[in-house]
Structures are given as C-alpha cells and as structure tokens.
Structure 1
Amino acid sequence: MDISNFIIENMNNPRELERMFRKEPEAFKKSFLYAWEQNPDSQVLAVWHERLNFKENENIQKASLINKAFLSMGVLAILSGITTRILLYFIEQQAIAPINLIFGILPFMAAYFLYNNGTKKNIVYTVAVLFLVSGIYLNIIPFEQKDGIILAYLHLPVFLWILLGLAFTGNEYNIGSARINYLKFNGEFCILYASMAISGMLLTALTMRLFGVIGLHIEEFYFKNVVLFGVASLAVVASYLISRNLKLTKNLAPYIAKIFSPLVLTTLIVYLIAAIWVGKNPFLDRNFLILFNGILIIVLAVTIFSITESGEEGRKSISDYINFTLIVLSLIIDSVAFSAMAFRLSLYGITPNRLATLGLNILFWGNLLWIMLSYIRFLQNKARYSTIQDAVTKYLPIYGLWAAFVTLAFPLIFK
C-alpha cells in the first residue's frame, strides 16, 4: 500500500489516519512528509505535522533545562553521599541517633525538586526551616531508649516524607493532581530504586569476590564508604530519572498495582480465616495486635498505590472492585484493632505506645471510611474517580500533623 496516497485520500477521516499510524508508525512518519507537501493547506495534516514533530522541538527548547537538572542532580547526589558518610561517623561515636541518616537523603531530594521546579521563595524557606528545625530538635531530645523517644524516631520520617511532598508539588501543593503525582512518584521511585539496588548488590558481590581472590579484605571500608555513599546518592539520581519521565517505571507501575492488589486481597482473606481458626485474639494477644496493625498499614499502602496508578475517569474495572473489597476489609481490621487498643488502654492504662497506636488507628479509620464512601459513590456512577483520589490526597497533611505531634510532644509528655 502507498501510505502517502492513503494519507491524502483520508485527510478528512481522522480515525483512519490514527488507525494507520498505530498500525505502522514508522512508515507513516516517512510517508507523511510527501502528503504534507502536496496539501499544505489541510488543517488535519497541519495538526499531524505538529504532532509528529513536537518532540524534536520540545527537546531543543528544553536542552538547557535538562543540563540544569542533570548538573543539580550530580551535585546534590555527591553532597548526599558525603553528608550520609559524615553522619555515620558520628553515629559510630554514639554522638547522635541512627535516625539522623535520613537527613543525608531526604533534604537533598527536596532540594532537587525545589531547585528544578521554580518553586516560590516562601515554600523554599518553609521546607528548609522545617527540615532544619526537625534536625535540631531530633538531636536536642535525650538519646535514650525510652518509648516516647523511640516513637519520635519512628514518626519523624513520616513528617519528613510529607515535607518532601511539599517540595515535590511546589507551587501546586494545593492541587489534587499534584499530590497524586507525588504518590505516583513514590511508587515509581521504589521500583526504580529497587532495580538499581539489585544492580548495586551484584556489583558489590563481584567486587568482594575479586578482592578476596587476591587476599584483600575490604568489606568494612567498602560498605562504609562506597555502599553507603551509593545508597544515599542513588535516591537523588532516581528522583532525577523519574522527573525526566522515565518510561520504564511509568509503564511498569500500573501493572504492578494490578497484580499486587488481588494477591494481597487473597492473602489477607486466607490469613484472617486461618487466624480465626486457630483462635488468635487481638484483645488479649499483644503481638497479634501489633501484627494486625502492621497488616493494616501494608494493605492501606497497597490500596493507595493501586488507586493512584489506575482508573480512567468514568471507567470501572475489576481492579476497582478489588480495591473496594480491600478497603472494606481494612476498615474491618482497623475497627477490630481500634477496639482492642481501647480495651487495653482501659484495662492496663495509658502508655506512649498504646496512645500512639490508638491515634494511628483513628487516623486510618477516618481515611478508610472516606475512601470507602467515595468508592461507593463512584461505583454507583454518582461521582468521578477523582473523588476517590481526593479522599487519598486531602488526608495526607493529617498524617503529617499527627507525625509532627508525636515527634515533638511525646518526648516531652512521657519523660
């Protein structure tokens, strides 16, 4: 078939042009120029001309931006690795808590987003001050193995993660789609970082083997200086690659979400049936209650990941019904866990761990209920899919506020 003549004959039939393009894209591109030269006044072909040549023009316009982003990534990745190594030295001297290693990674990821997104100064200053205050406060509180202090260490990363989200969304922090993009970024980041980490482990194993053959044992030096540097700097590198629209992770993430959701649902149902069968009781068994809450966090994370990576407006799929079932099961689990925590508080009294867990259960319950009600409206064709996503994104600051409260207040309240 002469594709040039086909294009000319179907100038007024956009559907046929699209079908041919999808069938033979390369041949279509090569033949299009002739058709365009023969019919320069065609509005349909003018649109196709812009469509086929847009990437080339876009790359020319963004060349300087790519260089800027690449250079900033390189500098921040190196600084992240160096800072993390310095922090490890003070941790080894038992001068600071190990949780400080997070300040060798997240602030530099935030700096990358703030610098390359053209963020307003007030947001830049807010993020910088909150990171600084968090670091100072973390090292002012006593370095002790007490429940209040340990809870502060556990909740600080959650607060800093929300703060990183502010840096990522920048001037659009109030827009729901920007927050969804941040959640998508986290899923894609985990996929890409895990892939690079596996490659790094293979390189480490090869290096250890090669040096071992010649009688040099460099394990301690290599892990403290090379591996640790790579672990920190790769976080900034992964942020750069994803922000450059890396197609691998963007194409892979939705499929992972669709695969994991039914697997998690099946595993959860089987586990709950088995737990009931053997007579496990979260009201009396403390370890089982802790595991119950761990399951809740994992299921909620998987469900949110699936929600952010799926769903075209107005279209329902089997994934939506799986997600809805997961949300309902999670709400049941959270209700049981909440009742068990309230029971243990009334029976054994208030402790930092019980109060923190109770607060977390309340937060989860509110979020799950909101998502479930939004899903019901969507499945009944009374709301758009964005309503479900809003139930996810608008709740994120509440988690950040709770994490900040536990981090700041618990070490003071429970001395």
Structure 2
Amino acid sequence: MDIGNPIIENMANPRELERMFRKDPEGFKKAFSDAWRQNPDSQVLAVWHERLYFQETAGTNKAPWLRKDFLIMGLLAILAGVSTRILLHFAEQQAIAPINLVFGIIPFIAAYFLYNNTPKKNILYALASLFLISGFYLNMLPLEHKDSIILAYLHLPIFLWVLLGLAFTGNEYPKGSTRLAYLKFNGEFCILYASMAISGMLLTALTMQLFRFVGMDIEQFYFKNVVVFGAAALAVVASYLVSRNLKLAKNIAPYIAKIFSPLVLATLLVYLITVIWVGKNPLLDRNFLLAFNGILLSVLAIIIFSIIESGADETRNISDYINFALIVLALAIDSVALSAIVFRLSSYGISPNRLAVLGVNILIWANLIWIMISYMRFLKNKTGLSTIQDAVTKYLPVYGLWAAFVTFTFPLIF
C-alpha cells in the first residue's frame, strides 16, 4: 500500500476526503486513479468512483441534440418564436393589445414543464382552461387606455406566472419545497436569460454594423423577425437549460444574492435619509408614491431571492442579519406607502389605481410581517430556515388570487 497517497491515508475519514476533493478536484482525481487501482475492493473508493465517473446508461449512445427532451424543447422554442412574431403583427395592426405577447412565451414554457413532469389530468385540464379563459377574456376587453383595463394588463402576467408555477410543481404543488424550487428556478432563469440576452444584443449590434457597411439598414426588419423571435425562443431554451441543472446560473445565483443584499440595504438607507432631509412627501406627490412602491417591490424581490438562495444552511451569519434589516426597512417603506394611499383615498376618493395599489401594499405588508416574525424566531434559534421559506412559498397563491381578482373584475367593476 502506497502510504504517500493522501486518499489511501484518509480512506477512513470521509470528511477529509470531501475537503480534499473540494480544494483540488483535478488533483484529487489523479490521486484517486492510483488509489482505486491499489484498492479495488474498497467500498469507500467504490462510492467515490461512481461519483467521479458516473455516466447515465440510458441514452448514452445518443448525441445530446438527438435526445427526446432536447427535440421537444427545440420544437417548443420555435413555436414560441413564431407565435410571438404573429402576435406582434396583430398588435402592430392594433387588432389586439400588446400584452398578448405573453401568450407567445408563457404557455410554451408551461408545456415544457408539463412534458417533463406530467401531472394528473385535473391539473392539466385546469391549466389549459385557465390559459384559454385568460386569453379569451383579455381579447374581449375594449382596446382603451382606461385605468381598470391597464391594471388588468399589468396583473395578467402575474396571474400567468402563478399558473406557470402550477405547471412547474405539477402534482406536488401543495409542497413548500416544490414551490421553493420554482422560486429558485425563476432566479436562475433570470440570470441565465440575461447572460444570453446580452450576448444576443452584442450579436445584433455587430450584425447591424456589418450591414451598414454595405449600405443597408435592416434595423426594423431584424428587430421584428429575428430579435422578437429570438427573445421568445430563448425563454424556452433558458428554461430547458436551468431544468437540466446547468451549473452556471446555480453557481452564480447565491453570490448575487449575498452581494446585492448589503448593497441594496446601504443604498436604501442613504436614499431614505436623503428623502427625509429634502422633505419629500409621498402623501402629496403621486409620482413619488409610485416610485416608493417600485422600491418596495424591488426590495421584496431581493429579500425573497436572498432567502431562497440560503439553501439548507441552518447556521446564522451576517447575511441573515442583513436580510432581517432589509425586511424591517421594507416594512417601514410599506407602512409609509400604505398611509399615503389611505390618505389619497380619503382625500380624492376611490379609483381603480388607488384600490389596486392599496391591495398590493396590504398583501406585501402582511407577507413581510410573516417573514419578519419567522426570521426573528430563526435568529433566536427557535426555528429552522424552513420556517422562513414557508413564509415565502405559502403566500405565493395569495398574490396569484389578487392578480386574478384585478385582471378579471376591475374592468367589469370600473
């Protein structure tokens, strides 16, 4: 036995083997080959051999582009691109509202999820019916720029996003862990999509310039027939890559959460101090109130993203205290926004916009209270991280119900 091989020396110490692998994966593999050759009967090394050199037996002879799931993804991506281009044509003719473009993307991502994780028939029928009803109802609304109709347009994507979550979770939609996986998917999807979109923009700029060199301006044609098609198809491709456990987004997402949380906290503290210093009043300034609500939604997104990227780590660290401070800050912002909305309702009366903003702020306020109490208990070692994650995942259907209420009732009420 070669005592100079660190893997052989630590065969009885799993923790040290794991530490060695994480520190230098390539060096570990080289040392492992020699250790495995000398100890072919070791159960410990047999496990490591499978971990290092495991290959799927099913479909290994097929090239990646010939696998069924890849072909399905490609077909759905093409259909999404074509559908979005057709919908854009009708939107330009003012035959339909531009918000219809979401039906060129979300249903096809949902179809890929349903193919990957076939649910029970009642879920399948419910999803198909709700997508059809939403599309039919949306196009029954008059093409007018009334507040109630604009609110329906703004809330429809939220409702469809919740339906997409139902397609993602399938039969396991009641489970908090599955809903958490959907939220993680969204974070990783955004990172990956943005990365690929930036590459696409660079390619677009290069293509435009190349055609300008030969005296041709293809900007309008290229945007309508390539950029629109590519943006829609890319959404399906990104969904496929994330669901295939692409490591790029998964490795970057936790770092983004940890970097942006303290930056957002510091920026907001400076901003709020400045607002107080200059005497800006959200009770009287409508545009400032809208900006305040935009800040609130951004902070809520950062909080949720930070929580879901905490993983299963139960140890308390500085990131948790930063998240808790962000939650308290978001509650303060929401409380100011709520008081401003109530003031405007009492002063100027009820309108669709004021009622919609009031409802959203009440929902967010209640959710933040739940998250804050759960986080407080977590920081006091009374509960685990799952309690905080439950406060996020179990509340998601409430946002979907509110979005459905605004979308389907406001145009009728107002």
TM-score (norm 1): 0.94
Equivalent in the alignment of 2:143: 143
Q: CA deviation at 1:65?
A: 11
In 2 relative to 1, CA 100–250 (structure 1 residues): closer, same or farther, beyond 3 Å? same
CA contact (8 A) 1:77 1:108 kept: yes
Deviates more, 1:294-303 or 1:18-27: 18-27
**1:42-72 CA distance string (max 9 Å, x none):** 3323332332333455874998998122111
Letter in 2 for 1:85: R
Letter in 1 for 2:79: L
CA contact (8 A) 1:313 1:384 kept: no
CA contact (8 A) 1:3 1:27 kept: no
CA contact (8 A) 2:64 2:70 kept: no
Equivalent in the alignment of 2:84: 84
Gaps of 5+ in 1: none
Deviates more, 1:185-194 or 1:94-103: 185-194
**Aligned ranges 1:5-404 → 2 under 5 Å:** 6-33=6-33, 35-36=35-36, 38-55=38-55, 57=57, 60=60, 67-404=67-404
Corresponding residue SS for 1:144: coil
Corresponding residue SS for 2:360: helix
Deviates more, 1:59-68 or 1:388-397: 59-68
Letter in 2 for 1:102: V
Distance (whole Å) between structure 1 residues aligned to residue 333 and residue 325 of structure 2:
12
**1:239-284 CA distance string (max 9 Å, x none):** 1111111111110011111111111111111111111111111112
Distance (whole Å) between structure 2 residues aligned to residue 151 and residue 257 of structure 1:
30
Distance (whole Å) between structure 1 residues aligned to residue 173 and residue 235 of structure 2:
22
In 2 relative to 1, CA 13–311 (structure 1 residues): closer, same or farther, beyond 3 Å? closer
Letter in 1 for 2:408: L
CA contact (8 A) 1:4 1:32 kept: no
Distance (whole Å) between structure 2 residues aligned to residue 207 and residue 370 of structure 1:
50
**1:288-334 CA distance string (max 9 Å, x none):** 11111111111101111111112543211111111100100111111
Q: CA deviation at 1:22?
A: 3.8
Corresponding residue SS for 1:381: coil
Distance (whole Å) between structure 2 residues aligned to residue 24 and residue 200 of structure 1:
35
Q: CA deviation at 1:121?
A: 2.5
Give percent identity, aligned residues only: 75
Deviates more, 1:12-21 or 1:119-128: 12-21
CA contact (8 A) 1:367 1:395 kept: yes
In 2 relative to 1, CA 62–310 (structure 1 residues): closer, same or farther, beyond 3 Å? farther
Deviates more, 1:378-387 or 1:4-13: 4-13
Distance (whole Å) between structure 2 residues aligned to residue 86 and residue 342 of structure 1:
43
Letter in 2 for 1:188: E
How many positions carry a matched residue from both structures? 414
CA contact (8 A) 1:4 1:34 kept: no
In 2 relative to 1, CA 295–6 (structure 1 residues): closer, same or farther, beyond 3 Å? closer
Distance (whole Å) between structure 2 residues aligned to residue 3 and residue 299 of structure 1:
55
Distance (whole Å) between structure 2 residues aligned to residue 239 and residue 4 of structure 1:
47
Q: CA deviation at 1:360?
A: 0.6
Letter in 1 for 2:137: Y
RMSD of equivalent CA atoms? 2.2
Q: CA deviation at 1:13?
A: 3.0
Distance (whole Å) between structure 1 residues aligned to residue 235 and residue 64 of structure 2:
23
Gaps of 5+ in 2: none
